[in-house]
Amino acid sequence: MRRSRAKVGASLLAAVFALSRLRAFLTFTAGSPDRSWSPQLRHPQRGLRSRLCALASTTEENAWQRFAEWVAARGGDMANVEIADIDGMRGLVAARDIAENTSIVEIPLTASIDISEPGNDADPSAPALNLLKFLDDPELKPYMDLLPGRTSPDISRMPDFFSEEELEMLQCPEVVQKTHRRQQLCATRADESSLDTEDVKWALCTVAQRAFSVVSPIDGLLRLLLPGIDLFNHDAHALHEMRVRWTLQGLVTATFKVVARSPIKKGEEIRICYGGDPFRPDGCGGDCTGDMALTNAAYLQRYGFVDDCFGTTMVDGKWLVKPESEPIRESLAATSAEEDEKLLSDSSLSIPAKTAIQFRRQLKIALKAQQEADALKAKAEAAKSEEQKQAEREAKEKAEEEARLKEANAEEARRQLFAALEEK
C-alpha cells in the first residue's frame, strides 16, 4: 500500500499543497488505553517553560520523547518544539527561541505515512481503511500512540459521532445530511470489510482532522499523515506557513516544513491556520471559497470545532444569505441567541451538544452580521444614487453655463472682428 517513490523522469514543476489542514489538540479523558493519554499530574518542580504551558505528565512526556526520537530516526526534526497542555488543550510550544523565516519543524516524505488509495481520491473512506491497516504496525507505534482515541474530546466533537438529537441541535440541514451520508458510507465500508462501524468512523474522522492532501509531481494527489505537523493547533490569524520542497535525485523526495513568519519566544504556543481567512495578509480579501477560507460547516466537519474569528464570520455570512441557504435560515430561526447562551452556560452539557450549540450560535451571529451589513450597503447605495443625481444636475448646469459663456465669448469675438473689419 505504501507506494514506491522510486519512479523516475517526471519534471518537478508543480508541487502544490491543496489542503494543508489538520488538527490535533486537546488532552484526553478516559479513552481506549492504547491511543489516549491518561489524566496526569503536573510537575511544577521542573518549572516548565511558561505560565501557560506545561507538559502534563511523565506518561505524556515519555510518549512525546518516544515520538520525537522516532521522528528524528526517520529524518525529521522536532527539536524546536514540545507537546504541552494549554488550558486543557494539547498543542505544541517552542522549546527554544525560533527566529523569523527559519523552520519550526521538518518532516521528510520518507517519514510521512501514505494513506492514499490510488485511483480513488474521491472516496474519503479509502484512506480511512488504509489508516486502520497501519494501526497495529509496530514500526508506527510512537505516532499511533499519540492519536486521539474514539472517546477522546477530539473525536466526540465530530458530527459523525453525534446522536440524531445532537445533530438536530446544529439547526443546519446541510451539515446533518452530509453527516448522514458519511455515517452511511462508514457503515457500508465496515460491512464490506467486516469491521466495526465505529472504528471506520473513528478512522474517517482522524483522517479528516489530520491528513494532508499534497500534489506530488510524480504520484499526483496524495493523502499523507505528517507526524508532528499534525500537532499544531489552529489560529486563523497565525502567519506561520506550511511549505513543501520537492527534489529529484534518482528518486523523488520532499521535505515538509512549517516556517516561522514572526520570531517565536521559548515557551510560546505555536499555531498554524487550517482554513485561511480573507483578511490575512495572504488572504483573498473578500469572496474566497474552498480552502482559501473555510465556512464553519467545513471547520466542524473536518476538525470538529467552531471558528469565531472575524474572517470566518464574514465567510459564513456570505454563505448564509444566499438564496439556496433558505432552509438553513429557517432552521436557525427555531431558537434564539438568548436560548443558546442559556444552554451554553450549563456546565453539564455534553461535548457534542456544546459543540452543536456553539455552531448554531456562530451561524446566527454571522447571518445577522451579514444581513445588517447588506442593509447598510443598500441604504448607502440609495443615498449614493441621490448624491449622484444631485451631482449630475450640478454637472449639467455647469456644462450649460460653460456653453453659454463660450457662446457669449464667441459672440464677443465675432463682434470685435466685425468692428475691426468696419474700421478698415
Ligand X SMILES: *[C@@H]1O[C@H](CO)[C@@H](O)[C@H](O)[C@H]1NC(C)=O
Residues that bind ligand X (CB under 6 A): 100-101
Bridge-based pairing of strands 233-234 and 269-272 is parallel
Please, are residues 258 and 264 in contact by the beta-carbon 8 Å criterion? no
From residue 43, alpha-carbon distances to 29, 84, 267, 409 in Å are: 19, 12, 16, 95
* Least distance in angstroms from the C-beta of 270 to ligand X: 17
Q: Which three cell numbers stand for residue 99?
A: 527566529
CA distance 424 to 420: 7
Closest residue to ligand X, based on beta-carbon distance: 101
- Measured from the CB atom, is 106 or 340 closer to ligand X? 106
Rank residues 104 and 131 by Cβ distance to ligand X and give the closer one.
104
Nearer to ligand X, 98 or 203 (CB): 98
C-alpha–C-alpha distance, residues 321 and 343, integer Å: 26
Min separation Cβ 22 and ligand X, Å: 25
Which of 291, 238, 287, 279 has its CA nearest to residue 261? 238
Nearer to ligand X, 101 or 247 (CB): 101
Q: Minimal distance in Å, beta carbon 100 to ligand X?
A: 4
Closest separation in Å from C-beta 228 to ligand X: 23
Kindly state the cell numbers that stand for 126: 479509502
3-state secondary structure of 328: helix
Nearer to ligand X, 6 or 99 (CB): 99
Shortest Å, Cβ 293 to ligand X: 23
- Specify the residue, 101 or 110, whose C-beta has the smaller distance to ligand X: 101
End-to-end CA distance of the chain: 108
- Contact residues for 208 (Cβ-Cβ < 8 A; gap 6+): 124, 158, 301, 302, 303
Q: How far is the CB of 283 from ligand X (least distance, A)?
A: 17
